Chains A and B, each alone.
Chain A
Amino acid sequence: MEVERESLRARQLRARDLLRGDLEGKDLEEYVEERLLTTTLEHALNWGRANALFPLTFGLACCAIEMISMVTSRYDIARFGAEAFRASPRQADMIILSGRVSVKMAPVIRRVYDQMLEPKWVIAMGACSSSGGMFANYAVVQGADKFMPVDIHVPGCPPRAEALLHGFNKLQRLVRGQPDLGWRQRYNAVGTEEWARFEAGEPTAEALERAAAAIRSADEGEGGHA
């Protein structure tokens, strides 16, 4: 203990010397070498991504209460850098499906998901959003991965905040260690990225603009809901 304290003191003094500009020559080289870490750019990027995931402010049902308590000081997701819940899907990296997905809500969720920028991840929280749960009926979608890709399923009804944190840590591990384990590979959707479609020339920017114009004119012609 005493030895560690001494070496720490020595390092602190050396850092002070550097800040004063007193370190020179071999001492300076040693100092810099001690503090350098080499890695690949991809690795560093994934490390940064995994530790700054912004979830979307999006609650569906009772699981949302557990999701909220995950942010509170008792569980504190800020320890893992995901405390900044964004109100806009454009700023979010991750969406937590916290609750049952009704057939009326499914297109809304899909739209919110499509508005998120890539790379993006999905956690299906609880039995309902993973499989329909106890709601085997006409109103609830039997599993959210029927209409959107899901990365992590957290079991429970509802899962406790610790369970969700564990699921989040698994997602971090996925982002950090195996970025190739993405949903496009698992859902055979490689090549559907926006940039990949543009590179292949299909659809072109003009084609997208034409389609958008057609949708706009159809909306105007309809004149609201019947």
Chain B
Amino acid sequence: MPDAPGLELIAQGIEEGHEGTVIETSFEHGRASLVVNPEHILHALTWLRDTPEQGYRFLSSLHAADYLPATPRFAVHYELLSRERVERINVKALLENPAGADGEEESLPELDSCVELFPTAEYQEREAYDFFGIVFTGHPDLRRILMPEDYVGWPQRRDFPIGGEPVLFTHNEIEAPRWFE
């Protein structure tokens, strides 16, 4: 884990390659994290992977999150690991929800795919697409991975109905009169 000054050096190094890539750095509970402009996410990941003294060559996890009341609403987290030094760094790309006004067709947040950099990201990006509807442009085969292929909706989003059926207990039995018929 890079310490706080180390994280600032990393942010500086990324900025030198491409102005305006790093939006924010945070170092909390010993965990270094970079918030990156989603348009330049590939630059940040490439820099972290290919700079010799960094060498974060292992993507240990790629996952999405939905922070519904907040804007930007979505985030894609990249957990990178340098196996030589056993150091981890967390890269976040915050994504706006591009859903249009009422009546318009739903449009999905988009982000560049990092399958070219980390082949392991293929299934993980498919999972993020499956559950959050985040489209990874440049992904070789972006389709649902866990839900049925004809499934409609993005079930892990916070505004997705929980589903299931109300369970009849003795305390709410009165709400469904003569349920046994």
Instruction: Provide the residues of chain A in CB contact with B161, threshold 8 Å.
Output: 138
Do B164 and A137 touch across chains, with their CB atoms under 8 A apart?
yes
CA distance A104 to B164 in the complex (A): 15
What 8 pairs between A and B have smallest CB-CB spacing?
A136-B164, A138-B155, A138-B163, A142-B165, A104-B148, A137-B163, A137-B164, A142-B164
B162 part of interface (Cβ distance < 8 Å): yes
Q: Determine how close the nearest CB of chain A comes to the CB of B126; give it in whole angstroms.
A: 14
Instruction: Provide the residues of chain A in CB contact with B162, threshold 8 Å.
Output: 136-138
Do B165 and A139 touch across chains, with their CB atoms under 8 A apart?
no
B9 part of interface (Cβ distance < 8 Å): no
CA distance A104 to B161 in the complex (A): 19
B167 part of interface (Cβ distance < 8 Å): yes
**A136-B155 in contact given A104-B147, A104-B148 (Cβ < 8 Å):** no
Q: Mark B137-162, 1 if CB is under 8 A from A, else 0.
A: 00000000011110101010000111
Do B147 and A139 touch across chains, with their CB atoms under 8 A apart?
yes
CA distance A206 to B47 in the complex (A): 67
Do A136 and B165 touch across chains, with their CB atoms under 8 A apart?
yes
A135 part of interface (Cβ distance < 8 Å): yes
Do A136 and B163 touch across chains, with their CB atoms under 8 A apart?
yes
Do B164 and A135 touch across chains, with their CB atoms under 8 A apart?
yes
A132 part of interface (Cβ distance < 8 Å): yes
> How many of B's residues come within 8 Å of A, CB to CB?
14
CA distance A194 to B151 in the complex (A): 32
Q: On chain A, which size bracket covers the interface?
A: 10 to 19
Do A132 and B147 touch across chains, with their CB atoms under 8 A apart?
no
Instruction: Provide the residues of chain B in CB contact with A132, threshold 8 Å.
Output: 164-165
CA distance A103 to B162 in the complex (A): 15
Q: Determine how close the nearest CB of chain B comes to the CB of A109; give it in whole angstroms.
A: 14
A129 part of interface (Cβ distance < 8 Å): no
* CB interface residues, A 64-102, toward B, < 8 Å: none
Q: Determine how close the nearest CB of chain B comes to the CB of A7; give it in whole angstroms.
A: 54
Instruction: Provide the residues of chain B in CB contact with A136, threshold 8 Å.
Output: 162-165, 167
CA distance A112 to B148 in the complex (A): 18
Q: Determine how close the nearest CB of chain A comes to the CB of B49; give it in whole angstroms.
A: 33
> Apart from A136-B163, A138-B155, what 18 extra A-B contacts exist at CB < 8 Å?
A103-B147, A104-B148, A131-B167, A132-B164, A132-B165, A135-B164, A136-B162, A136-B165, A136-B167, A137-B155, A137-B162, A137-B163, A138-B153, A138-B161, A138-B162, A138-B163, A139-B147, A139-B155
CA distance A137 to B167 in the complex (A): 12
Q: Determine how close the nearest CB of chain A comes to the CB of B154; give it in whole angstroms.
A: 10
Instruction: Provide the residues of chain B in CB contact with A225, threshold 8 Å.
Output: 149
CA distance A139 to B151 in the complex (A): 10
23 A/B residue pairs, CB under 8 Å, sorted by A: A103-B147, A103-B148, A103-B151, A131-B167, A132-B164, A135-B164, A136-B163, A136-B164, A136-B165, A136-B167, A137-B155, A137-B162, A137-B163, A138-B153, A138-B155, A138-B160, A138-B162, A138-B163, A139-B147, A139-B155, A142-B164, A142-B165, A225-B149
Instruction: Provide the residues of chain B in CB contact with A131, threshold 8 Å.
Output: 167
Instruction: Provide the residues of chain A in CB contact with B163, threshold 8 Å.
Output: 136-138
* CB interface residues, B 94-135, toward A, < 8 Å: none
- Nearest-neighbor residue (CB-CB) of B144 within chain A: A104
- Nearest-neighbor residue (CB-CB) of A136 within chain B: B164
* CB interface residues, B 165-181, toward A, < 8 Å: 165, 167
Instruction: Provide the residues of chain B in CB contact with A138, threshold 8 Å.
Output: 153, 155, 160-163
Instruction: Provide the residues of chain A in CB contact with B167, threshold 8 Å.
Output: 131, 136
Instruction: Provide the residues of chain A in CB contact with B147, threshold 8 Å.
Output: 103-104, 139
Q: Determine how close the nearest CB of chain B comes to the CB of A111; give it in whole angstroms.
A: 14
